[in-house]
Structure 1
Amino acid sequence: MFLYILGLLLLWFAHRWFKESKRVSNKGDKHVYITGCDTGFGHLLAKHLDALGFRVIAGCYTEKGENELKKASSDRLTTLHLDVSDSVSVGQARALIKTLVGEKGLWAVVNNAGISVPGAPTDWLTVEDYKGLLAVNLVGVIDVTLSVLPLIKKARGRVVNVSSVFGRISLFGGPYGVSKYGVEAFNDSLRLNLAPFGVKVLCIEPGFFRTNVTDPQIIKENGKRLWDRLPQDVKDDYGENYVERALQTLVAKCQLLTDDDLMKVIYCMEHAVTAVHPRTRYSPGWDAKFIWLPLSYMPSFVTDSLVLKFSPKINVSMF
């Protein structure tokens, strides 16, 4: 019985590997639109897909980002200015893309653009802290996608949305997780809506990688800034030296979990764009696979107790 089950598992893995190894043809005729290409994942993906022979359309927020990408890429790659939080900018980009792709349509859009700020207790924040980030990370994803959706449908292409493990489990307060949960919901509904048209919708959910969101200096500066602006009664709720203890714990855990190899994410993005049979979801990072995703499937009382156990303690008598 054991050998029978083992044989079935091996057969299933072999079938899956063979199926996922197939790649699309005619890469030189396929346009891929990537947002957030100034730095990080977007910058690396634009260069990577360009090297593979795709016609990359790279949206950059700054002129510097455009210039640096052009220097590192072939003449197949086109850059354009893009502010995903500005519908006028998104519309202008769409007009240029329509001209570039012509009747073939757009093979893929990769919604990579986003901003990330370290989490903080919710009662440290204001609604303005949420609005700016949601405008980029959630509304921007929706706006960009809707702007090119007719072109994607024409090519029977695909939409690749970059979420996070923190779109599956929420460990911190703040707008980042809220935005990623929103991306997950948009991704899931879009996948179902576009399936009849032959359009694939995929989601990338990275764990901790060495980006701005895990930068120790940024974490410390943001935490101190938020603490300093709090009214005294809120500070009293958390107790003396809370922010120092909390930041020390957060930085230590981020350093322990952070992966330096950004190409793990890029290879997942590449597969989502190039595979004939892409996966519905990708979870790059060992922490995503072995910590955060398993936790996300557990009952809330289990995850709550574990998170609270390893969180900085609030040393106040009223709690």
Structure 2
Amino acid sequence: MSGSGAGRAVLVTGASSGLGRACVLHLAEAGFHVFAGVRRPGDGDDLAAAASGRLTPVRVDVTDDASIAAAVKEIEAAVGDDGLWAVVNNAGVCVAAPLECVTTEELRRQLDTNVVGQLAVIRAFLPMLRRGRGRVVNVTSGLGSVAVPYMGAYSAAQFAKEALTDALRRELRGFGVDVSVVRPGAIMTPIWGKVADAGRAALESVPEGVASLYRVPFSRFLLVNERSARASSTTPAHFSRAVARALTEARPRARYGVGVDVWRLSVLSRVLPDRALDRYLGAITR
């Protein structure tokens, strides 16, 4: 299979906005029958109206087993014997804050959404994927291989998701199910405003003596982060095309990097000693 979706059924989680929204619209246009995973019915209606191809909204919360089970039942009834070609695990949250300011509740939310929930979705749909010798695409980021200051909780989740992907790729090889990672770098989407707001709220949740230690450098980091995203030449369209490649190439790669910054971090993490990498990351986040 190569070139187009050829009517194959694909579930994409986290489709309501940002990269997920761009991805499902692109895949529908490419010929896939896209099941767009959303948590709010209104978001699904909006996607269906915007799609130029076949797009079916499906309510699914990756942190809720009952919601996942209902989505499996709905999709299985819709695709019948044709089966499901792929699951694209795009749903996720980003907890950005100094680790000293990340509450246990927030860390659990980060890991539950980006790691535990992802495996729950894969596990639930694997019988359908095995029947169709389909594919799994897990969306991580450039921070799935390099941890930068103030993004430790998010990086921990992305590192874990990369590890799950590697293990799944090796475990499912004998069943004909291919598993890939797509790593987008800095791309300007609405998530950056949410990240900044949540980060500032995290500082407000800890004693002032702790918050005052981080307020200035963390605020600077948020500003630099957003500027980098705004200046980035990488767009949601680049991400969408990478996902489409992972779904259509006859021999999909284990990893697809999206953006120069992802490539740069990956190279530097391999060639620089840890202390030199520490200095480099410290400089670019100041």
TM-score, length-scaled by structure 2: 0.91
- Match status 1:210 vs 2:184: no
Give how far 1:168 is off.
0.6
- Shift of the 74–301 alpha-carbon distance from structure 1 to 2, 3 Å rule, reads same
Distance (Å, rounded) in 2 between the aligned partners of 1:272 and 1:63: 28
Q: 1:54 aligns with which of 32, 45, 52?
A: 32
Residue 164 of structure 1 aligns to which amino acid in structure 2? S
Take 1:220 and 1:111, find their aligned partners in 2: how far apart are those partners?
24
Residues 186, 228 of structure 2: 8 Å contact kept: no
Partners in 2 of 1:59 and 1:310 — Cα distance?
36
Q: 1:244 maps to what in 2?
A: 216
Instruction: Identify unmatched segments of 5+ residues in structure 2.
Output: none
Displacement of 1:213 after TM fit? Answer: 4.1
Say yes or no: does 1:145 pair with 2:96.
Answer: no
Deviation at residue 131 of structure 1 after TM alignment:
1.1
Q: Please state how far the C-alpha of 1:233 moved relative to its aligned partner.
A: 3.6
Q: For 2:58, what is the secondary structure of its paired residue?
A: strand
Match of residue 306 from structure 1: 280
State, as a whole percentage, how many aligned pairs show the same letter. Answer: 32
Residue identity matched to 2:6:
K
Alignment pair present for 1:122 and 2:99: yes
Matched, 1:157 2:134: yes
2:22 maps to which of 26, 44, 54: 44
Task: State how far apart, in whole Å, the 2-side matches of 1:277 and 1:212 are.
Answer: 33
Which of 210, 215, 228 lines up with 1:256 in the alignment? Answer: 228
Within 2, Cα distance between the matches of 1:56 and 1:235?
44
In the alignment of these two chains, the number of paired residues is: 282
Encode CA deviations 1:3-30: one digit per residue, 9 max, x unaligned: xxxxxxxxxxxxxxxxxxx7167712x1
Structure number with higher relative contact order (C-alpha < 8 Å, ≥ 6 residues apart):
2
Residue aligning to 1:4: none
Unaligned runs of 5+ in 1: 1-21, 313-319
Deviation at 1:256, TM superposition (A): 2.9
Equivalent position amino acid for 1:23 in 2:
S
In structure 1, C-alpha distance between the alignment counterparts of 2:122 and 2:190, rounded to whole Å: 25
Q: C-alpha offsets along residues 213-242 of structure 1, whole Å, 9 cap, x if unaligned?
A: 433xx4543333222222244246x2xxx5
Specify whether residues 212 and 80 from structure 1 end up closer, same or farther in structure 2 by C-alpha distance, changes over 3 A only. Answer: same
Partner of 1:15: none
Larger Rg: 1
Pick from 80, 83, 99 the counterpart of residue 105 of structure 1.
83
Pairwise CA RMSD:
2.1
**Aligned residue in 1 for 2:253:** 279
TM-score by length of 1: 0.82
The Cα offsets for residues 244-294 of structure 1, whole Å up to 9 and x where unpaired, read as 3431243124413542621111110010111112221011011111x2111
Larger CA deviation: 249-258 vs 37-46 = 249-258
Tell me if structure 1 keeps the 8 A contact 2:62–2:117: yes
Residues 97 and 203 in structure 2, CA contact (< 8 A), matched pair in contact too? no
Which letter does structure 2 place at the counterpart of 1:293?
Answer: S
1:296 corresponds, among 257, 269, 272, to 269
Deviations 1:115-164 (A, max 9, x none): 123x2211112211111122211111101100000111111111000011
Q: Which of 27, 33, 44 is the matching residue for 2:6? A: 27
The 1:254–1:293 alpha-carbon spacing in structure 2 relative to 1, beyond 3 Å, is farther
